[in-house]
Chains A and B, each alone.
Chain A
């Protein structure tokens, strides 16, 4: 479990990091917490000549809630997400999801930026970000641009981020309604067998808005627009939830693996989504 040789760089500004990556070209990769990247390097499943470490860039850290907008710096650790009382009341789904990521040791160093930029369908935060309709802030040699989380993921490990761009922050509007992140996993430290992020707003007993995203049931996180739509305007009765589940089933595409066959995952996805809808509704 020893990675191939690599060079290590530790810039202290975003600008310096962007420049380094531009100069070093294809063979450079940023490293945040390293808890997805280093295992791949140690198993020699990826070969990287230059690691550009973002740890020293203070500007990438921190949680800001300004008006109705939450902005989280890319280098904010999962542990810090859990510990932030302000974030906990603005968007409790983040805390609920972060607590189900890996274990405390991983969360002390693993970052939100790494988790969403990584592109592994097993990561939990991408689904949460899609559910929240978050915006990703990218900085490259040509300056800054934004991409919606719902448009970011193309395939496993393929995202809308260009190789020479750094993800600097995620931002989203403080959500309205009840939120829930429900995850089935085999053990502590495991990626989801199936997980669902759900936000439900109610008005006058009926559902006024709903957002649903599923984790690890396709080669990307899946925002299930039609599933949410199936709930909007309904009284969130059994038949409505059935419709949402059916709509979710139409857009996921689970594969057989060590966690089980696709048919099992579809069943689990349905159960988990129902639980998440119930939980979010009860909190709405």
Chain B
């Protein structure tokens, strides 16, 4: 019955499993415009919602008159806080333990805040009706500067918190103070700093920016009054969490709520939280009994949905004269805007910012983060990074540069001197993490060699001479970065969101003919899960990736999981996939042994089959086993071939990388040109090199945007200055640098397949690389620190202040 067995290599290749540069199965529909996004969903009788938003950053609402709007033909309803109050839905919990207004309750706290929700027969009527709602505001003093938040006479933003001296994360010392989060050993750190040979001190600001996914946020809520079921299609990065939260706040039983994330056009953290639009659409659908769609526009997305960063990081780093780092001290002033709506694991109000010791063996460290309220939009999400990890990486990679300047040392050498050595892993950092694995020196040496670091420094020195001789007006900057990320949240013992443990899941069904479907608790927003998770599974169970469907995003069918953000899908759901696959294989082994009439232990796994040990010509392929599982009565074994795994990771994973950027800077116009960008990533086991490369290109391009121009800027009145893509910098193909990618492989010791996650590394690593390049260009003129974004005028200003304009 068994024909000639093809060689192992051929059978392995046919699976398109781990390590294969398999083409993304998603792209056939995306490149043909056949994706199915929220705004593609059209249901019979569907109504449209649109918001009346505050033009002011801080104002009392004296009255709202919706009569004219309601009189407009086609307008069905206008909801205000007063309408939501009886349902207790005028406020909602945030993921960070705070509460947030759904619709303005008595006052507004940021420009663009949702004031009223208009429901109409179509979006055109809704937009017209928005203009007809008359809101009478009384302007209040505006608080924009986070350093003025805790002044004794600072305006009171959150009247709802009056008298509350205890917040979700401990004591509050002022009406605009949210929390203080401390890590590490303060006394020991201060002692080391006080007696150190050298201490470098700097304020490093990582400005407020925005994930700005191409598809904005939106949803379609449909309450079926006949069967009592609520279905919500939405741009949700965590559909199950949304279901649970929706159930808890609406009182609708969880089995009666179905959340579906269809295709999502990018999330980058922007689509993790719960927004007023979701609540209002749900309420409107319950009230009207028909589906209600709400999709925000670009300006609304930029102004009102979750921003990222906005961390003022004051650092002190100490070292011996010869450059051994002895201690690190950091204080962060975190501007959270009007409500604390970061999407961090509950016990981590500043996310994993305590990864800020980076890739370095720093014996003592101390960190304190103070969160404050201001009159800006809420958020603080992880924009393509694990929680606050980008801020941390930027901080330490700037501090290393600043220290190198102070020491008069080459910054590459300073890094190499202080890297955690390979033999120190698992490594316990001074701020409490256990780094799983790493080999920083190997990666670093490879990177420096690849770019000919010494040659670059020589060229830079020559250019400097030419500049001083008046032969050129362009300087060269070499931006170095060695970053260590912490991703894959996370172990349930310390990671939860609103009490939901941050495990993830995979459920596999093998069909009788030997193909399969795998369902996961995560949701792709462009990461290519349908491609890569099938590859993990192909290698585990010997069924070709092409024969495996991966499905995510429907809470009625997918197993419970916490969704996709923080590079957690591969570390957590990817692990669950491998583990569920192993359960399948364990049962398959018993079936194979039965069919081959040998003992279970007498068969061994061979790529896509079980063969009798010592008699490889006697085997059963996975396809044969699958069929047998459904058509043979096997004593002691249930029919069918299915498995589910809920994976609680024992630790986070710690991807790392070495990025080098070479930039030319025109000191007169402030323009720049990225001449070279080298990105070496070590994400452990590489599932699909092509997808990794795509992720690196995308993430580095976002990093480029952030470092070189992207920001959410406010004026003194709290007006958003750049809420359109005219001013908010999104690079086009024209601006995007060329990237050279490279890798080393240091598997995670605790992950079933050794994978660490890569989606966010390039954002984390590239921002400091671009920024360091700008700083480095001016290093010999005495620049130690200037703030991002390094757009034309700011680079010009730096050159100007350094006297380079004569």
Note all chain B residues with C-beta closer than 8 A to A268: 668-670, 792, 796
Q: Does A261 belong to the interface (CB within 8 Å)? A: yes
B732 lies within 8 A of A188 (CB): yes
Evaluate whether A184 and B793 lie within 8 angstroms (CB atoms) in the complex, with A4-B131, A267-B805 already known.
Answer: no
With contacts A188-B734, A188-B735, A268-B796 known, is A258 near B298, CB below 8 A? no
Q: Is the CB of A260 within 8 A of B792?
A: yes
In the complex, A261→B731 CA distance in Å? Answer: 22
Nearest residue (CB) in A for B797 is A264
Given A1-B299, A186-B791: A267 touches B668 (CB 8 Å cut-off): yes
The answer to whether A5 and B128 touch across the interface, beta carbons within 8 angstroms, is: yes
A272 to B792, CA, bound (A): 14
Kindly provide the distance from the CB of A256 to the nearest chain B CB, expressed in whole angstroms.
10
Alpha-carbon distance A163/B28, docked complex (angstroms): 51
Asked, given contacts A1-B297, A187-B729, whether A259 binds B793 with beta carbons under 8 Å apart, the answer is yes
- Chain B residues whose C-beta falls within 8 Å of the C-beta of A267 in the assembled complex: 668, 796, 800, 805
Query: Does B421 lie at the interface of the complex (its beta carbon under 8 Å from any beta carbon of A)?
Result: no
Q: Fill in one digit per residue for A236-265: 1 if any B CB lies within 8 Å of its CB, else 0.
A: 000000000000000000000011110010
Instruction: Judge whether B726 is part of the interface by a CB distance below 8 angstroms.
Output: yes
0/1 string, A166-207, CB within 8 A of B gives 1 = 000000000000000000101111110100000000000000
A103 at the interface (CB under 8 A from B): yes
Q: Which residue of B lies closest to A5 (CB)?
A: B128
Q: How far is the CA of A189 from the CA of B709 in the complex (A)?
A: 15
B613 within 8 A of A: no
Q: How many Å lie between the Cα of A189 and that of B671 in the bound state?
A: 16
Least CB distance, B174 to chain A, in whole angstroms? 33
Q: Across the interface, name the chain B residue whose C-beta is closest to A190.
A: B726
Cβ of B727 under 8 Å from chain A? yes
CB neighbours (8 Å) of A44 from chain B are: 131
Query: Shortest beta-carbon distance, A171 to chain B, in Å?
Result: 32
B contact residues, total (Cβ < 8 Å): 31
Q: In the complex, A202 Cα to B669 Cα: how many Å?
A: 29
Q: Give the chain A neighbours of B729 by CB distance below 8 A.
A: 186-187
* B727 with A187: CB separation less than 8 A: no
Rounded to whole angstroms, the CA-CA distance of A263 and B506 in the bound complex is: 59
From B713, B727, B792, A193 is in contact (CB under 8 Å) with: B792
List B residues 710-737 near A (Cβ within 8 Å): 713, 721-722, 726-727, 729, 731-732, 734-735
* Distance, CA A103 to CA B732, complexed state (A): 10
B709 touches A187 (CB 8 A): yes
The answer to whether A2 touches B793, judged by C-beta atoms less than 8 angstroms apart, is no
Please determine whether A258 and B722 come into contact, CB atoms closer than 8 angstroms: yes
Taking CB atoms and an 8 Å cut-off, the chain A residues in 65-91 that contact chain B are none
For residue B127, CB closer than 8 A to chain A, the reply is: yes
- CA gap between A193 and B670 in the complex, in Å: 11
Complex CA gap A259/B731 in Å reads 16
Provide the bound-state CA to CA distance between A186 and B725, in Å.
Answer: 12
Question: Shortest distance in angstroms between A271's beta carbon and chain B's nearest beta carbon?
Answer: 5
**A2 pairs with B127, CB closer than 8 A:** yes
CB-nearest residue of chain A relative to B725? Answer: A189
Residue numbers in B under 8 Å from A189 (CB-CB): 726, 732
| Chain B neighbourhood of A259, CB < 8 A | 792-793
Q: Which of B131, B713, B796 is close to A264, meaning CB atoms less than 8 Å apart? A: B796
**B127 / chain A contacts, CB cutoff of 8 Å:** 2
**C-alpha gap A261/B794 in the complex (Å):** 10
Residues of chain B within 8 A (CB-CB) of A43 are 299
A261 close to B793 (CB less than 8 A): yes
Task: For B735, list chain A residues within 8 Å (CB).
Answer: 187-188
Judge whether B781 is part of the interface by a CB distance below 8 angstroms: no
A200 to B734 Cα, complex, angstroms:
31
Closest to B123 in A: A2
Q: Is B594 an interface residue (CB 8 A)?
A: no
In the complex, A2→B793 CA distance in Å?
A: 33
Q: Does B124 contact A (CB under 8 A)?
A: yes
Q: Give bound CA distance, A91 to B721, whole Å.
A: 38
Instruction: Please pick, from A1, A2, A5, A184, the residue contacting B792 in the complex, using a CB distance under 8 A.
Output: A184
Q: Which residue from A188, A190, A191, A271 sits with its C-beta under 8 Å from B668?
A: A271
CB contacts (< 8 Å) of B669 on chain A: these are 184, 268, 271-272
Contact (Cβ within 8 A) A187 B713 = no
CB distance from A142 to the nearest CB of B (A): 37
B residues 729-765 with Cβ under 8 Å of A? 729, 731-732, 734-735
Closest 9 CB pairs of A and B: A260-B793, A2-B127, A264-B793, A188-B734, A1-B297, A271-B668, A188-B732, A258-B727, A264-B796
* 30 A-B pairs with C-beta separation under 8 A: A1-B297, A1-B298, A2-B123, A2-B124, A2-B128, A4-B128, A5-B128, A103-B732, A184-B669, A184-B671, A186-B791, A186-B792, A187-B729, A187-B731, A187-B735, A188-B734, A188-B735, A190-B726, A191-B726, A193-B792, A258-B721, A258-B722, A264-B792, A264-B797, A267-B668, A268-B668, A268-B669, A268-B670, A268-B792, A271-B668
Chain A interface residues toward B at CB < 8 A: 1-2, 4-5, 43-44, 103, 184, 186-191, 193, 258-261, 264, 267-268, 271-272
List 18 other contacts, CB 8 Å, given A2-B123, A5-B124. A2-B124, A2-B127, A4-B128, A103-B732, A186-B729, A187-B731, A187-B732, A187-B735, A189-B732, A193-B793, A260-B793, A264-B670, A264-B792, A264-B797, A267-B668, A267-B805, A268-B668, A268-B796
